Amino acid sequence: MKTKIETIPGETPGVSYELIVHRLAGTDSEAPRVYIQSALHADERPGVAALHFLIPMLESAEREGRLRGSVTLVPHANPIGAAQHLFGTHMGRFSGATRINFNRDFPVPDADGNRALDGASSATFAERRLKSRLLELADDCPIVLDLHCDDEGVQYLYIPEMLWPEMSDLAACLDAEAALLWDKGSDRAFEEAAFEQMRARAGNTDLSGHCVTTVELRGQADVYAGSARKDAEGLFRFLELRGVVTAEDPQGPALRDDFVGKPIRHVDMIHAPAGGTILYHARPGDRVEAGALVAEIIVDPGVAGGAVQVRAPQAGFVLTRRGRRFVRMGDDLFKIIGENASVESHAGALED
């Protein structure tokens, strides 16, 4: 494995950021090339922990001649966000300079497949260069994995509908409980921009063998040696199945019997009807009926009627819930995958 530390210049003298890029060389130029990054939201650490265990596995495969496809890894994809702290609290999701979500506003290619790298975003120069560089590193790779996590949630994936069910092998290898299938992007997240690169490169024709996804590795607090090792083993098994690593066993695991795979329009975003303290009655992984009590918000403690009830709009699967227990009116509380399309239609990203 070769490691290069790239420099992302800042906007003022003496300020720059380091992007660590690992590359492992494959033995077969025809094998799939892979790009994996983690911590694009810099306060999301399960992906970093997974790569901690995956990298030695890939190094062993490289030394033993079992690594067929080249692999590029960026464990800390957002050094800008990693440096942001406010009064001792890490602020890794949004840019402190622009208030833009770090996983939004990536430059997408035009009809000719060209990207306007520096003029594609209202972000700072450093953020524009970082986003452009990440896409450059992922370009020409038919397998692109962006490792994230949610506040509190099950293991799930965002997958382009065009690549489903072929990508069910990744979901099975990761023992994922759900997948959200999307058919068009709207917020120019990294996954969307990388997929547009793929489509432009393939001429919008056959995309078999391609894989691009945001992998949600449970919740922010789910950073443990056991789960990280399991994630790494799942990712490695997936690379074996896709021919990136030579595999002794060509058979992969099956999807979970309780797996939920639905179009993203089936997601109900449950918002707080009032501000206060959350009392949860449902957790990620639960199945709820229409009208089921999923939470209460304590507005006036100890007073009759001082708690506002929150109920499920339809039957469904609880995908995620908010990590903090104090909310403002309108804050996101849950993502619930409904049996039917969302009773309240939404456009754009599910959340900020």
pLDDT at 304: 96
Per residue of the chain (352 residues), give pLDDT as tens. 999 999 999 989 999 999 999 999 999 999 999 999 999 999 999 999 999 999 999 999 999 999 999 999 999 999 999 999 999 999 999 999 989 999 999 987 666 656 665 544 557 899 999 999 999 999 999 999 999 999 999 999 999 999 999 999 999 999 999 999 999 877 899 999 999 999 988 886 789 999 999 999 999 999 999 999 999 999 999 999 999 999 988 889 999 999 999 999 999 999 999 999 999 999 999 999 999 999 999 999 999 999 999 999 999 999 999 999 999 999 999 999 999 999 675 556 788 8
Backbone angles phi, psi at 55, to 5 degrees: -60, -45
HSE (CB half, 13 Å, CA atoms) of 230?
13
For the chain, the maximum distance between any two Cα atoms, rounded to a whole number of angstroms, is 70
Which tokens in the block code for residue 43?
A: 């306060």
DSSP string, 155-188: EEEEEEGGGTTTTHHHHHHTT-SEEEEESS-SS-
pLDDT at 210: 97
Q: Domain 2-258: which topology?
A: Aminopeptidase (3.40.630)
Closest to 274 measured CA to CA, from 295, 291, 302: 295
Backbone angles phi, psi at 38, to 5 degrees: -140, 165
pLDDT at 53: 98
Whether 265-338 and 2-258 are alike in CATH topology: the answer is no
How far apart are the C-alpha atoms of 248 and 270, rounded to whole Å? 45
Enumerate the domain spans of the chain. 2-258, 265-338
pLDDT at 120: 47
Looking at domain 265-338, its CATH architecture is: Beta Barrel (2.40)
pTM for the full predicted model: 0.95
pLDDT at 208: 93
For the chain, the straight-line distance linking the first and the last C-alpha, in angstroms and rounded, comes to 36
Question: Contacts from 197-205 at CB under 8 Å and sequence distance 24+?
Answer: 197/109, 197/113, 197/135, 197/138, 197/139, 198/142, 198/144, 200/109, 200/113, 201/113, 201/139, 201/140
DSSP 72: E
Closest to 159 measured CA to CA, from 222, 210, 102, 217: 210
How far apart are the C-alpha atoms of 110 and 301, rounded to whole Å? 55
Closest to 157 measured CA to CA, from 285, 231, 261, 22: 261
How far apart are the C-alpha atoms of 227 and 188, rounded to whole Å? 30
